[in-house]
Amino acid sequence: MDPTAEIEQGLSAFGEDFRAQFAAAESELTLRSARAELLGKKGRLTQLLKLMGRVPADQRKRLGEAVNASKLEVEACFQARLDELSRAAREADLKATPFDLSLPGRAPARGHLHPLTQVREQVLDTFEGLGFEVASGPQVELEENNFTKLAFPPDHPATDMQDTFWVKVAGAESARTLLRTHTSNVQVREMSQRQPPMAVVSGGAVFRRDDDVTHSPMFHQIEGFWVGEGVSFSHLKGVLTAFLERMYGAGVAVRFRPSYFPFVEPGAEVDVACDFCTETTCASCRVCKGTRWLEILGCGMIHPEVLEHCGIDSERYTGFAFGLGVERVAMRRYGIPDIRLLFENDPRFLAQF
């Protein structure tokens, strides 16, 4: 048959039946299969469209428009029924599971600062209250500020003791660079920039190759120092004891134990009594390792050589310095038996603070 006539007959036979078919469809599935009968690959309208290629050019525009108009009608009718069906489904759903609009909403859980941040702020606040000002320093540091000016000679075993992460900085190969092993670099930086009197605290991340229940390769320290005329070891003891009593309560057992750091003379480490064990369980305590003490910080009177390296007259001025481990302070303050818990970020652990 002549394709023009075939299309014309097909269109007039097409009629309006599809409207009734769509209206009768009670589910999305039947609606879609009714649509496929018209517009699917083998659908009636699709078959008519296929004939268009054989229609003479002068008839093509008129017939094309007629077929497309039918197609648009079918699509609009299909979409309207689809909307009706989904509205009805939603209404049925709401009726089946009625809900109480007056119920209060679920409040999103409120977060809070990480326990280490809380402890760092508590420590810095305490020292600010004692008259110290807060400074900061870089984590990627020159060997000079981390070791040399602090009187560690090159290749001194003490630099091994801290087991350093060295860093290659492109374009600056001549200056040896590292991830700072302690916050004492801030001491050097501040003392090189200004003259006494000065009392400064500074907190931040430091890095060493350490890893066990009381040691982490990345941990946090707070450094503090006071330089002025007549500053003595008794000032050091007074300030640190006041600090530890604020952290752990008046009367907490504290001991100053002589120790060596190349940048102080004399030097000490300060321990607080371990409260993770008792006299009887002490031998197997993983935190104090049977000593009944937990080391919190290192301290001492700043070595005159360090003052001179930083341009401060060591005949006129003296000073003390200390560096404490924030994780250790937090462990003892909150009874955390393993330092690694502080870095795993398990919400069940963090929710306890």
- Taking the complex as a whole, how short is the minimal distance between the CB of residue 329 and ligand FA5, in angstroms? 8
> Closer CB to ligand FA5, residue 6 or residue 275?
275
> Closer CB to ligand FA5, residue 7 or residue 294?
294
> Closer CB to ligand FA5, residue 70 or residue 216?
216
- Taking the complex as a whole, how short is the minimal distance between the CB of residue 191 and ligand FA5, in angstroms? 12
- Taking the complex as a whole, how short is the minimal distance between the CB of residue 225 and ligand FA5, in angstroms? 7
- Taking the complex as a whole, how short is the minimal distance between the CB of residue 220 and ligand FA5, in angstroms? 8
Joined tokens for residue 318: 């003296």
Q: How far apart are CA 226 and CA 128, in angstroms?
A: 12
7-12: long-range pairs with CB below 8 Å, 24+: 7/48, 7/51, 7/52, 7/55, 7/63, 7/66, 7/67, 8/63, 10/44, 10/47, 10/48, 11/48, 11/66, 11/67, 11/70
Q: How far apart are CA 281 and CA 271, in angstroms?
A: 19
> Closer CB to ligand FA5, residue 163 or residue 313?
163
Please answer whether residues 22 and 81 qualify as being in contact, where contact means their C-beta atoms are separated by less than 8 angstroms: yes
The residue nearest ligand FA5 at its CB is 325
User: CA triplet 241, 245, 251: central angle to 5 degrees?
Assistant: 95
> Closer CB to ligand FA5, residue 108 or residue 157?
157
**Residue 326 carries which side chain, given as an amino acid letter?**
V
- Taking the complex as a whole, how short is the minimal distance between the CB of residue 210 and ligand FA5, in angstroms? 3
- Taking the complex as a whole, how short is the minimal distance between the CB of residue 133 and ligand FA5, in angstroms? 17
229-235: long-range pairs with CB below 8 Å, 24+: 229/196, 229/197, 229/316, 229/317, 229/318, 230/318, 231/317, 231/318, 231/319, 231/320, 232/301, 232/318, 232/320, 233/266, 233/301, 233/320, 235/320
- Taking the complex as a whole, how short is the minimal distance between the CB of residue 257 and ligand FA5, in angstroms? 11
> Closer CB to ligand FA5, residue 141 or residue 295?
295
> Closer CB to ligand FA5, residue 34 or residue 299?
299
**Residue 156 carries which side chain, given as an amino acid letter?**
H
* Positions that interact with ligand FA5 (CB under 6 A): 182, 184, 208, 210, 215-216, 219, 221, 223, 261, 264, 267, 295-300, 321-325, 327-328, 339
- Sheet hosting strand 140-142, strand order edge to edge: 140-142, 177-179, 166-167
> Closer CB to ligand FA5, residue 21 or residue 216?
216
The pair phi, psi for residue 293, each rounded to 5°, is -130, 145
Contacts of 159 (CB under 8 A, 6+ apart): 147, 152
- Taking the complex as a whole, how short is the minimal distance between the CB of residue 136 and ligand FA5, in angstroms? 16
> Closer CB to ligand FA5, residue 7 or residue 271?
271
- Taking the complex as a whole, how short is the minimal distance between the CB of residue 240 and ligand FA5, in angstroms? 11
